[in-house]
Amino acid sequence: MGDGAFGRSPGGGSRPGAGAGVGGVSRGGPFLNRMQETRPPARRAAAQVRALRAMLPRALRAPGTRARFMRAGLKPGALRTPDDLAAIPILRKGDLPALQEQAPPFADLLGLPLGRLARVYLSPGPILDPEGDVPDYWRFARALTAAGFRKGDLVQNTFAYHLTPAGMMLDAGLRRIGCVVLPAGVGNTETQADLLRRLPVAGYAGTPAFLLTLLEKARERGADPRRDLRLRVALVSGGILSESLRKTLREDFGVTVRQAYATADLGCVAYECAAQAGMHLDEAVFVQVCDPRTGCPVPDGEPGEVVATALNPVYPLIRFGTGDLSVLDRARCSCGRTAPRLTRILGRVDEVPKIRGMFVHPRQVEEALSTFPGVARFQMVVSHRDHDDVLTLKVVVTGPATPGLADQIALVLREKVKLRATVEVVEAAALPEGAKKVVDLRKWD
């Protein structure tokens, strides 16, 4: 879609309903619109200010949005920059089902009459999601272009097309850049694997795990992935893409994989480039990484909840808390893009303890422990002593523990997770299979 699918583009495009593409699409390169994606950060910030001010009048037509501003004691004129949005309490994704039940169908947050929408979907929750009647409403064209998809590619889209919007989210972006879509949807693994061989499928859209399943099934049914398949690029979302899986897909099957971060409510929020050094924020989204308890932005480089405002007058979800934890990085990327990046998604807000001011997800500890192949499982035990948080990491190892192992693990944790911990090597019986990854013993008054 590009930015302008929501009217005037934050990048300066002025044709209603059009984004940075059509006329701005880079036909052979990795940018949808090179000028927008490589502009100085100050110019991007100024464009987002203009887009926010242009969006607010329509957003405030929605009773639910007006009520949020009133509860915060804010007048529209008080918002001079996107940073001023921090004065508005976070709208939690988890609150939407109840809010939509109270004020159907969209909790009085829709910026247009229902009759001007293109489609309505039902996501898990249950949460109703609108689709505006504009090309590439969810703005996936930029992510797909960065991932290597090109005009004329035949792309197998394995996201669901039934009720939930995921299939159409990718479908619309693919069509925007001129790809031909095979709307495969979910399941039917053998049929889908056969289609990879029968048709010149160049691209894949879906979850990372299903991509591996399809390729293994195709090989099981007699196809040589490098000889018989044309698949070369994939954009994945909705699941964890580990570096080991990415390597397997590249080396064993010849597929270059990039990932995107999106929600049905906001559309594409961030996407990977060739540098694979985090996910660039989409040009039409303003993102803050916030302390989930206070709603205040945390300093760059510290983990917090992804809170986003898509500059979208169709469905103006302002300060929308995704519930996902990440870290914001504003350093210049080697790809040439200047948009900030989310380093990675660390997990969910409700899955992590805050230890000495930092949210620490078990996945971070798991990544740190991956350098110790003898560690079979672990448990984080958080307690409180002398007004300070204490982290004890219990680990079970296969075979005898090597001398100094606990100290080595503690050192890696401090280097990679930036956290001091006491490491205890315990017997398997003391930490059985299926034990909780996090035990929080702290008592809060």
Enumerate the domain spans of the chain: 3-350, 353-440
- Give pLDDT tens digits along the chain (445 positions): 222 222 223 333 332 232 333 233 344 479 999 999 999 999 999 999 899 888 888 899 999 999 999 888 887 777 777 778 888 999 988 889 999 999 999 999 999 899 999 999 998 778 999 999 999 999 999 999 999 999 999 999 999 999 999 999 999 999 999 999 999 998 899 999 999 999 999 999 999 989 999 999 999 999 998 899 999 999 999 877 888 889 999 999 999 999 999 999 999 999 999 999 999 999 999 999 999 888 999 999 999 999 999 899 899 999 999 988 999 999 999 999 999 999 988 877 876 677 776 667 788 888 889 889 889 999 999 987 766 788 999 999 988 888 899 999 999 998 888 788 999 999 999 999 888 898 988 775 4
Residue 16's pLDDT is 28
d(CA 317, CA 168): 20
Residue 22's pLDDT is 27
For every residue of 162-205, DSSP letters joined together read SSSSHHHHHHHHHHHTT-EEEE--S--HHHHHHHHHHS-EEEEE
Residue 357's pLDDT is 62
Q: Has this prediction a pTM greater than 0.85?
A: no
Instruction: Select 353-440's CATH number: 3.30.420.10, 3.30.429.10, 3.30.950.10, 3.30.300.30.
Output: 3.30.300.30
Residue 387's pLDDT is 65
Residue 47's pLDDT is 93
Residues 159, 166 contacting (CB under 8 angstroms)? yes
DSSP state of 94: G
Any idea what the Cα angle at residue 162 is, between residues 157 and 168, rounded to 5°?
45
Please give the structure tokens belonging to residue 79.
């918002």
Give 342's strand partners.
Answer: 279, 328
Give 180's strand partners.
Answer: 154
What is the Cα 302 distance to its own chain's centre? 17
Residue 26's pLDDT is 41
d(CA 185, CA 157): 6
CATH topology for the 3-350 domain: Rossmann fold (3.40.50)
Residues 121, 131 contacting (CB under 8 angstroms)? yes
What residue has token string 């039902």? 122
